[in-house]
Amino acid sequence: MPEGDTLFRTARTLDRALAGQTITTFESVLPKLERVNVDAGIVGRQVEQVEAQGKWLLMRLSNDLILLTHMLMSGSWHIYRPGESWKRPRAQMRIVLGTKAILAVAFNVPVAEFHTPETLRRRKSFRQLGPSVLAPEFDAPRILANLRANPTKEIGAALLEQSLLAGVGNIFKSEVCFGSGVNPFRRIETLSIAELSKLVQTARTFLAANVLESSTNRLATRDSLRNSTGRSGANERLWVYARRGRPCHRCGSSIDAGKQGPGARITFWCPSCQPLSPAEV
């Protein structure tokens, strides 16, 4: 599943390409979207803003219409110049939204809905989003309070709960815990305020470092070069994620991994740098 940094970069790229432009083309294989297109008309509207909130993408159109999408595990947005070949087969296309200069294509997007501001406020899973880790006004105290209100949850699993804090996914879950020196299987009630505060700030720091401005003008919405270590080597960009059995970059111990949480997501950690005492289980 794309994490908050990927969605942030996607929104930023789409916003720069589309904001202020008039929609000249709209097509979707999703019947509910096409029905809105027929009834309310998408062509002729302007794209006012594209933004990310957690792992949701909001494309705000003129006359109070919002296209809400969620990538889940397989979705992605691409942008193309007129006449440019798509990098995915047309069979994977779900939405095409174009202006005179740019074609934005959503591939394999499983959740796509049109909303008004009022219906969006009533959408349960969106309404229940916690504060975004990448929000301009970072609400660290509220995130801290949300975590402390769930004392029996393991911190690794809690970091994935979008109702507590929005934007952290499975990669950053492991990386944030390592960067904070906290074992991901510790229950929140065993963590001090200082430890929780460090986890929250590390989440902000790690995700923010991955949405820095690119040095190129490429029109790209995905980036496989996620980095939490500050190192550039292909095998050195992440501290622990997907490194089971490999030596820890910090102490040399073998990285461990195990399933965690309701979804049995794989978590990675260093047993030496992130020890777990019996009292903390």
Residue boundaries of the structural domains of the chain: 4-127, 140-280
Total-model pTM:
0.83
> Which residues have a Cβ under 8 Å from the Cβ of 204 and sit 6 or more positions away?
133, 134, 138, 140
Q: Residue 47 pairs with which residues in a beta bridge?
A: 61
User: What's the distance, Cα to Cα, between the start and end of the chain in Å?
Assistant: 28
Q: Which one is catalytic: 3, 48, 154, 175?
A: 3
> 2, 175, 184, 198: which one is catalytic?
2
Contact 195, 180 (CB under 8 A): yes
4-127: CATH architecture: Alpha-Beta Barrel (3.20)
Instruction: Judge whether 55 counts as a catalytic residue.
Output: yes
User: In the numeric block, which tokens belong to residue 87?
Assistant: 């990098």
Q: Active-site residue 2, yes or no?
A: yes
Q: One digit per residue, pLDDT tens: the chain, 281 residues?
A: 578 888 899 999 999 999 999 999 999 999 999 999 999 999 999 999 999 998 899 999 999 999 999 988 789 999 999 889 999 999 999 999 999 999 999 999 999 999 999 999 999 888 889 999 998 889 999 999 999 999 999 999 999 999 999 999 999 999 999 999 999 999 999 999 999 999 999 999 999 988 876 534 343 344 457 889 988 887 889 999 999 999 999 999 999 999 998 889 999 999 999 998 766 66
Task: State pLDDT tens for residues 188-206.
Answer: 999 999 999 999 999 999 9
Q: Does domain 140-280 have CATH number 3.30.70.3000?
A: no
Residue of 31, 48, 51, 55 marked catalytic: 55
pLDDT value at position 72? 83
Residue 113 annotated in active site: no
